[in-house]
A = this chain, B = another copy of it.
């Protein structure tokens, strides 16, 4: 890992827990929070992929609201406009995974440039990262919105290469989403998969270069690699 100069992080599910909306869903639909959150996330992803393929981009907030409306209809739950807005707003205040706030400054101390590269709109990314007080940890907050297509399209990954201004092979891409880590590796980023839940990786012809259980493990990997470099 000693050739890495910068790290681009996926946001949703990687640095921030998308299922931190479960409690808000449970307030409005008691006992259904987990079920709603799971299907909502699945549909949110599907809608970003399908709209990209159909060349019918809408913002991530729009796709997220559409996915919630589908989810409630599918589950037979009555979603009025106020509840819809309250639940979508919860997506702007997701919680970071516990080890994230302490690990980011440690990575910066090692001289690495950091960026978020997310399907979220600039507004959503700013709101989520700002709510957690982490804006100052990043050199760039990159949204796919300027290219109007979602990951895993190459045009999305290229944004990180352009922002850092270094070759893609020196940018580590970190994601908990195996499909995202797959797309990033096809693009040419070395890739680390954060596998907090003990899942299996996608079968699309790529494997991650590194697999960790949390962001703090990435720090150890980097230090071991740095120590190895120092010994040479």
A interface vs B, CB < 8 Å? 46-47, 49-56, 58, 66-67, 69-70, 73-74, 150, 152-154, 179, 182-183, 186, 199-200, 202-205
Contacts and interface: CB of A to CB of B under 8 A. Distances in A.
A203 B152 contact: no
B54 A53 contact: no
B53 A152 contact: yes
A199 B74 contact: yes
Contacts of A200: 70, 73-74
Contacts of A58: 205
Contacts of A202: 47, 50, 70
B49 A53 contact: yes
Contacts of A54: 152-154, 182-183, 186, 204
B53 A52 contact: yes
13 contacts: A46-B179, A49-B49, A49-B50, A49-B53, A50-B152, A53-B152, A53-B153, A54-B153, A54-B183, A69-B203, A70-B202, A73-B200, A73-B203
Given A46-B179, A74-B199, A179-B46, A204 B53 contact: no
Contact of A179 (B50, B73, B179, B205): B50
Nearest to A67: B203
A30 B96 CA distance: 41
